């Protein structure tokens, strides 16, 4: 069993600056085709040297060694054992102290014996798990061999790897370990998890997977030492400041929960507060308001603490075609977002953020990330910044168009007012009927909110809309928490037009635009809600036509890219030769009619 620090410091002599890298089993036949590959001046002047032989002592712990599998960190045995002991400790406590039959010394002896037996069993299992768990990063796969009783061998193609996330909580950072989760495109759970490796080894795995994926692509692979230095730094796109973190935590409150709390408390009968000393029925409305304010304050404290700990130290960097992020106070997350896997860009703006022109940017990918559930399936790219800066960062990441939304027809606003009035009327009727059985609040109280129905309808109408651009389509929905979804046409998977019975009475429809990362059921999916029948047809036709155009352009770009990749250095020399250049100049000097005639002869 090797020491973990060797995994992070072992040099990678088997990697070269070529655009593709042979694995260990292909080293014996590696040079016959290299003369046909286009080479840069650096490659010609400094050819790659074959890997030097090693004594094999240190290679056993290197996570990127192509011949020897690597092991988990030795401290992972103790940490996983402690986790399982704590998880069953509460059940043991309830078993011995939950009833009156077991008391005194016998209970303590029973607990000690049970804990000792569980500790020995769990420790033995974890030692066996550690000895039987191996992982290996090859030229084109990430291989994992595990299993105590039954063995399981997995080969994860690096082309399918989408994210390599590193998670560290407070205890992880104290003992120097980290958890590595490998996510693939299209998966709804982690494809593989390394629990646990050294913190330096975890970041080395991140860099090596990114480097080898780039080697498998058509891009030119940079020098290893330069790439390692670049991977440690990257180009910083965004870093949250202390002021932005405090404002984000302050604004992170769901006003829908506060309004719902006040709504529920309004149904509390005044007699409930008679038991409170010094409170009479005549002033019973005051405790209701105070209780509502206390509930709102508690919700705000929870939102403040959650947002502060989640986005503390947030940094977004860019390395080639990958976004890297780090964040977290107690649980430190470090991961990557491939730009070519991004499906949608989403702006999150609640009432307070819109009032002060702030916004949050989330990106949705086709795969799964353990931190995505915190933004309904999207990974946060910019947690908090001025809206103009957020949009500029989106443009810098993927040349996103800034949308100018078209509002739904005004008859949809009348529909909202009618619906809100209908809900209040039904609620008043239910309270009137319930008055014969129980003692609810006065049945006419919901009717007092009828004047607010047109105001709420107007606010909802003003915060909806859609946008059809040259390369992007966008939708916007929500008043309390508004979401604006922007997606390129080539990411569209399906366009669905639907309308309910009430929508058809107003000649309205909803157009849902699905991507590979959307479910079609969430509130933050791309939806043009309550648009006219004519507008819905225009949206469907426009999205369909733009989708075909964008796919044709991308296919042409890929064919051109493959043609250049398949072009040998002899083709390059022939194209750049003086004879070829003089032939091109002669064609340029010919009159247009002569050139067309020559094309016909050809």
Counted residue by residue, the chain has a size of 602
Global pTM reads 0.72
Q: How far apart are CA 372 and CA 374, in angstroms?
A: 5
- Pick the residue with more confidence: 22 or 213? 213
Cis omega (within 30 of 0) on the bond before 306? no
Q: 274-284 pLDDT, tens per residue?
A: 554 454 444 44
DSSP line for 430-497: HHHHHTTTS--S-TTGGGGGTTHHHHHHHHHHHT-EEEE-SSEEEEEE-SSEEEEEEEEGGG--EEEE
Per mean pLDDT, which range of 18-22, 286-290, 330-334, 497-501 is the poorest?
18-22
Per mean pLDDT, which range of 69-73, 120-124, 273-277 is the poorest?
273-277
pLDDT value of position 421: 94
Scanning 468-568, the segments in alpha helix (DSSP H) are 501-505, 533-566
Say if residues 199 and 178 touch (Cβ distance below 8 Å): yes
pLDDT value of position 4: 41
pLDDT value of position 600: 44
- Pick the residue with more confidence: 313 or 302? 313
Tell me the average pLDDT across 35-41.
39
Tell me the average pLDDT across 229-253.
83
User: Which residues on neighbouring strands pair with residue 496, listed in sequence order?
Assistant: 512
Tell me the average pLDDT across 255-274.
61
pLDDT value of position 520: 52
Q: How far apart are CA 169 and CA 291, in angstroms?
A: 36
pLDDT value of position 518: 65
Structure-block tokens of residue 71: 């092991």
Q: How far apart are CA 309 and CA 50, in angstroms?
A: 48
pLDDT value of position 143: 94
Tell me the average pLDDT across 450-470.
95
Q: How far apart are CA 447 and CA 425, in angstroms?
A: 7
Domain boundaries, the chain: 411-460, 567-601
pLDDT value of position 448: 87
Per mean pLDDT, which range of 59-73, 272-286, 398-412, 557-571 is the poorest?
272-286
Buried b (16+ CB within 10 A) or exposed e, 244-266: bbebbbebbbeeebbeebbeeee
Q: 425-456 pLDDT, tens per residue?
A: 998 888 888 777 766 667 788 888 899 999 99
Q: 324-368 pLDDT, tens per residue?
A: 899 999 999 998 888 888 999 999 999 999 999 999 999 988 755
pLDDT value of position 283: 44
Per mean pLDDT, which range of 140-149, 294-303, 558-567 is the poorest?
558-567
pLDDT value of position 30: 39
Q: How far apart are CA 207 and CA 318, in angstroms?
A: 13
Q: How far apart are CA 214 and CA 234, in angstroms?
A: 15
- Whether residue 16 is predicted with pLDDT greater than 60 in this model: the reply is no
Q: How far apart are CA 527 and CA 513, in angstroms?
A: 6
Tell me the average pLDDT across 146-171.
90
Q: How far apart are CA 400 and CA 392, in angstroms?
A: 9
Other Cβ atoms closer than 10 A to 416: 20
Q: 509-536 pLDDT, tens per residue?
A: 999 999 876 655 555 689 999 999 999 9
DSSP line for 249-301: HHH---HHHHHHHHHHHTTS-GGGGGGSTT--GGGTHHHHHHHHHHHHHHHHH
The overall average pLDDT reported for the chain is 77
Sign of CA dihedral 273, 275, 279, 282: positive
- Whether residue 227 is predicted with pLDDT greater than 60 in this model: the reply is no
Sign of CA dihedral 92, 95, 99, 103: negative
pLDDT value of position 114: 78
Per mean pLDDT, which range of 59-63, 411-415, 544-548, 551-555 is the poorest?
59-63
pLDDT value of position 378: 64
pLDDT value of position 452: 92
pLDDT value of position 46: 41
Tell me the average pLDDT across 236-259.
86
pLDDT value of position 75: 94
pLDDT value of position 417: 95
Q: 166-207 pLDDT, tens per residue?
A: 999 999 999 999 999 998 876 667 788 999 999 999 999 988
pLDDT value of position 84: 87
What 478-481 contacts at long range (C-beta under 8 Å, 24+ apart), as own/partner pairs, is 478/523, 479/351, 480/254, 480/255, 480/256, 480/259, 480/350, 480/351, 481/254, 481/255, 481/256, 481/348, 481/349, 481/350
- Whether residue 145 is predicted with pLDDT greater than 90 in this model: the reply is yes
Q: What is the 3-state secondary structure (H, E, C) of 575-602?
A: HCCHHHHHHHHHHHHCCHHHHHHHHHHC
Per mean pLDDT, which range of 219-228, 229-238, 564-573 is the poorest?
219-228
Structure-block tokens of residue 127: 């030692």
């Amino acid at each position: 069993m090797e020491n973990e620090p060797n995994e992070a410091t072992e040099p990678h002599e088997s990697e070269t600056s070529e655009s593709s890298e042979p694995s260990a089993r292909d080293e014996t036949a590696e040079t016959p085709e290299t003369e046909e590959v286009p080479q840069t001046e650096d490659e010609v002047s400094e050819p790659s040297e074959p890997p030097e032989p090693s004594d094999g002592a240190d290679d056993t712990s290197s996570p990127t060694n192509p011949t020897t599998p690597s092991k988990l960190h030795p401290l992972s045995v103790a940490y996983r054992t402690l986790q399982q002991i704590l998880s069953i400790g509460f059940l043991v406590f309830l078993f011995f102290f939950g009833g009156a039959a077991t008391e005194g010394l016998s209970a303590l002896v029973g607990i000690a014996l049970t804990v000792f037996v569980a500790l020995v069993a769990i420790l033995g299992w974890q030692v066996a798990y550690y000895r039987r768990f191996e992982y290996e990063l090859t030229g084109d796969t990430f291989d994992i061999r595990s299993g105590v009783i039954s063995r399981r061998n997995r080969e994860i193609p690096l082309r399918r790897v989408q994210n390599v996330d590193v998670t560290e909580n407070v205890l992880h950072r104290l003992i120097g370990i980290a958890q590595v989760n490998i996510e693939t495109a299209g998966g709804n759970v982690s494809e593989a998890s390394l629990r646990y490796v050294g913190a330096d080894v975890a970041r080395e795995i991140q860099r090596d997977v990114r480097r080898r994926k780039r080697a498998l692509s058509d891009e030119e692979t940079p020098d290893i030492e330069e790439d390692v230095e670049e991977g440690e730094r990257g180009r910083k796109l965004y870093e949250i400041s202390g002021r932005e973190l405090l404002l984000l935590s302050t604004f992170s409150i769901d006003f829908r929960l506060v309004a719902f709390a006040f709504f529920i408390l309004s149904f509390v009968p005044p007699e409930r507060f008679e038991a409170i000393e010094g409170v009479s029925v005549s002033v019973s409305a005051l405790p209701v308001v105070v209780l509502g304010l206390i509930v709102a304050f508690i919700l705000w404290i929870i939102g403040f603490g959650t947002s502060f700990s989640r986005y503390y130290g947030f940094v977004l960097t860019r390395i080639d075609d990958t976004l890297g992020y780090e964040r977290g106070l107690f649980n430190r997350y470090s991961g990557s977002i491939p730009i070519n896997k991004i499906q949608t860009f989403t702006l999150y703006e609640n009432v307070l953020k819109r009032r002060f022109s702030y916004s949050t940017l989330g990106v949705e990918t086709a795969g799964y990330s353990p931190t995505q559930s915190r933004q309904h399936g999207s990974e946060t790219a910019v947690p908090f910044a001025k809206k103009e800066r957020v949009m500029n960062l989106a443009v810098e990441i993927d040349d996103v168009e800034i949308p100018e939304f078209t509002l739904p027809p005004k008859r949809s606003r009348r529909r909202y007012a009618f619906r809100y009035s209908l809900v209040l009327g039904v609620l008043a009727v239910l309270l009137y009927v319930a008055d014969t059985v129980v003692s609810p609040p006065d049945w006419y109280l919901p009717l007092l909110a009828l004047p607010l129905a047109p105001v709420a309808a107007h606010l909802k109408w003003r915060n909806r809309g859609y946008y059809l651009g040259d390369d992007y389509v966008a939708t916007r929905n929500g008043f309390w928490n508004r979401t604006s979804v922007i997606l390129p046409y080539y990411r569209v998977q399906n366009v669905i037009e639907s309308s309910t019975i009430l929508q058809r009475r107003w000649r309205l429809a909803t157009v849902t635009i699905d991507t590979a990362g959307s479910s079609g059921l969430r509130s933050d999916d791309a939806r043009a809600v309550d648009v006219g029948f004519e507008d819905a047809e225009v949206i469907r036709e426009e999205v369909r036509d733009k989708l075909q155009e964008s796919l044709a352009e991308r296919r042409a770009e890929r064919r051109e890219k493959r043609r250049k990749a398949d072009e040998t250095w002899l083709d390059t020399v022939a194209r750049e030769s003086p004879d070829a250049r003089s032939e091109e100049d002669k064609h340029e000097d010919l009159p247009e009619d002569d050139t067309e005639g020559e094309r016909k002869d050809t």
